[in-house]
Amino acid sequence: MTQKYGKVYLVGSGPGDPELLTLKARRLLDTVEVVVYDQLPGKAIIDSIPGSTEKIDAGKYAGDHTLTQDEINGLIVCKAREGKDVLRLKGGDPYMFGRGGEEAQELIKEGIEFEVVPGITSAVAVPAYAGIPVTHRDHASMVTFITGHEDPTKEESALDWETLAKFDGTIVIFMGVKMLGRNVAELMKYGKDPKTPVALIERGTRPDQRVTVGVLENIAQVAKDRAVKAPAITVIGNVVTLHEVLGEQVPSGFE
């Protein structure tokens, strides 16, 4: 008799505001048997998981990963092989710097059925809540998303800072707080205007969201003075000037 494995759902939780969860994500959170989660979805969403569900903290905190990615992959496979439906809950969108693609590859390799449930990416939603549209007809017709924290095992960076410095659009950096000084220095090294506006948005779309604004040449010091901490999104470009015009959106739906 063929063993019946459970199904795995790779689910994006959005940027943190629980009302930005998709209807599909909410339904699955309420019905699966196991949820394996990181901290990026936020306390409000994690606390909304039913008490009867087996909840496993995968332990991905900034600079402190309790489980390696290989161990997380193994855990998801193990639970599915027990015949349980498993929801892998990830912040933002699972395929946008969320390592969801790696987890999907592992599930295919192990013969486990899976489904991807996209989420609202923090690259767009977090700046929006801070009054910063990533594109605007008067300021930017292009936007690029990059990671500010590459795989440390890489021999060299995959980021082409020379090309990015010439990019006449908005640059959005994920996970870039730790390497902020290096990243802005690279852009200026290759000719990016030191007066280019920059915004750092901590804990975006949550009640304690905080926005720090500066320019390339001083943002690292401003961030240090204000003790900016991850998780944060960095936005570079003229669209940042709209923050003062459009203001911040106060999230609703939190208790």
Determine the Cα angle at 248 with ends 243 and 253, to 5°.
Answer: 155
Under 8 Å between Cβ of 189 and 161 = yes
Task: Say how far apart CA 185 and CA 210 lie, in whole Å.
Answer: 24
**What burial class does residue 177 get, using C-beta atoms within 10 Å of its C-beta: 0-12 exposed, 13-18 middle, 19+ buried?**
buried
| 30 counts as catalytic | no
| 96 counts as catalytic | no
Task: Say how far apart CA 147 and CA 34 lie, in whole Å.
Answer: 29
State whether the Cα torsion 67-84-95-38 is positive or negative. Answer: negative
Catalytic residue among 17, 96, 175, 192: 175
**What burial class does residue 151 get, using C-beta atoms within 10 Å of its C-beta: 0-12 exposed, 13-18 middle, 19+ buried?**
exposed
Catalytic residue among 17, 60, 79, 192: 60
Task: Say how far apart CA 12 and CA 32 lie, in whole Å.
Answer: 15
Task: Say how far apart CA 251 and CA 255 lie, in whole Å.
Answer: 11
Task: Say how far apart CA 147 and CA 176 lie, in whole Å.
Answer: 7
Catalytic residue among 17, 38, 79, 96: 38
Query: Which residues are marked as active site?
Result: 38, 60, 175
